[in-house]
Amino acid sequence: MRRAALRLCTLSKGLLAPSRGLAQGSQNPEKQRVFHIHEVRDKLREIVGASTNWRDHVKAMEERKLLHSFLAASQKGLPPRRMKDSYIEVLLPLGSQPELREKYLTVQNTVRFGRILEDLDSLGVLICYMHNKIHSAKMSPLSIVTALVDRIDMCKKSLSPEQDIKFSGHVSWVGKTSMEVKMHMFQLHDNEFSPVLDATFVMVARDSENKGPAFVNPLTLESPEEEEIFRQGELNKGTRVAFSSMSLLKMAPTAEERTAIHEMFLNTLDPKTVSFRSRVLPPNAVWMENSKLKSLDICHPQERNIFNRIFGGFLMRKAYELGWATACNFGGSRPFIVAVDDIMFQKPVEVGSLLFLSSQVCFTQGNYIQVRVHSEVASLQDKEHMTTNVFHFTFMSEKEVPLVFPRTYGESMLYLDGQRHFSSMSAPVTLKKDHLIEP
């Protein structure tokens, strides 16, 4: 999978210009007005006919079966849409509505990044529904779900829990059954919204019962700028395929990687004995197996999405927060998020499942800590464990951290995988507290 870097960078004016242009060009009053963050989930329930009452979920899903007749037999039968048709803005009024702050607040008086992930996930789905809106039907026949968190970039701006935050976004690329969504996040500084975050998600459309793929409206491009955005979406797709083909689950390590692992193995042999079994750690080093943390959550109905599966944003938040705790426990000081890898949603999580998260440090260098979080679920009936996600997080500690050493071949593959993710960062990050965010 391709690297999805959450890098501290400065977003270019050119990158932000399309969204501003889309806002100015939209002729739909509903798209021009700014939604409140609470309206996003309410709007999604309205679009799919979901009930806020868990006891009604079976009835609501039965009613969605009647929407099959609205599904297109091919993409050619659907009218093309413009990027501006899906453009929306959403306000998270942490400053003007202080009662919202506690949900987003960390003990260090910063904004919880896990909560931002939840909001981005909901916003991405709503944007796709705006792109595929059927004016003749009250409810949408499509079931749109998040397939991949492809990329998130952070600007060098602090996230204050006492200033309003604004999100904006639109569909930027379309396949036959999938869509790429570009989203931006701004925070109010000196009476002006300054860019904070840029995100790219990939969503897929399913039929009304969420059982099979469904066609989405094609995208028409109205300017060279939009053509460039669309072209980037095509490149993103190709890069993901290339990264997947090079996975260590499919191909052996490179000659250079094999040499590095062998040198690490030699560095852990006890010089007092001539034995491959006698292993000792070098100074300032930790065995990988001793860097683990685990958690277990019961997936209650409260965490369900509009299709009565567990909300993807909830899964991302729980994995991120366990990863942060792992980095904190390993490094001995407060870590800051530097990068987030592609988050691929492999399987849906049913309400009532047991969610097992296993986190471990798989690579370190200087102040950097690469953490891998493996997510799997088991039902109460068959107890069979199935992998749903694998997350990769890069953190930076306030001080230099120990090296991590693998013992087994399997751990060596985890080490190389973590090294690959770390190496794909475009540039090192300078540690500045006001530029970084926490869980």
**Final residue belonging to a domain, choices 246, 278, 296:** 246
Asked, for residue 435, whether it belongs to a domain, the answer is no
**414 phi and psi, to 5 degrees?**
-65, -40
239 and 261 in a common domain: no
Residues 6+ apart with CB under 8 A from 319: 357, 359, 373, 375, 389, 391
How much is the average pLDDT of 225-244?
89
Residue 429 falls within a domain, yes or no? no
Do residues 374 and 240 both lie within one domain? no
436, 8 Cβ separation under 8 angstroms: yes
Residues 353 and 236 grouped into a single domain: no
pLDDT at 154: 72
Query: Which structural domain range is residue 200 located in?
Result: 37-246
Do 142 and 205 contact (CB within 8 A), yes or no? yes
The model carries a pTM of 0.86
Mean pLDDT of 56-80: 83
> 361 lies in a domain?
yes
Q: Same structural domain for residues 234 and 284?
A: no
pLDDT tens, position by position, 235-269: 988 888 887 778 888 889 999 999 999 999 998 98
**Which residue is it, tokens 């060596």?**
412
The residue from 246, 278, 312 where one domain ends is 246
Instruction: Please check whether residues 151 and 52 belong to one and the same domain.
Output: yes
Q: Are residues 84 and 229 in the same domain?
A: yes
Report the alpha-carbon distance of residue 431 to residue 436 in Å, rounded: 8
Residue 291, classed as helix, strand or coil, is helix
Task: Answer yes or no: do 227 and 301 share one domain.
Answer: no
The reply to whether 431 falls in a domain is: no
Length of the chain: 439
Mean pLDDT over residues 171-186, rounded? Answer: 96
* Domain limit, last residue, from 195, 219, 246: 246
pLDDT in tens, 380-409: 787 789 999 888 888 989 899 999 999 999
Let me know if residue 432 belongs to a domain. no
Q: Judge whether residue 432 has pLDDT over 70.
A: no
Residues 159, 259, single domain; the answer is no
Residues 237 and 259 in one domain: no
In total, how many domains does the chain have? 2
| Tens-place pLDDT, residues 84-113 | 999 999 999 999 999 999 999 998 888 999
Are 241 and 269 part of one and the same domain? Answer: no
Q: Say whether both 362 and 345 belong to one domain.
A: yes
Residue 55's Cβ-side half-sphere holds a number of Cα atoms within 13 Å equal to 0
Any domain includes 19:
no
- In a shared domain, residues 219 and 274: no
> Residue 321's closest CA among 114, 102, 109?
114
Domain at 362, CATH number: 3.10.129.10
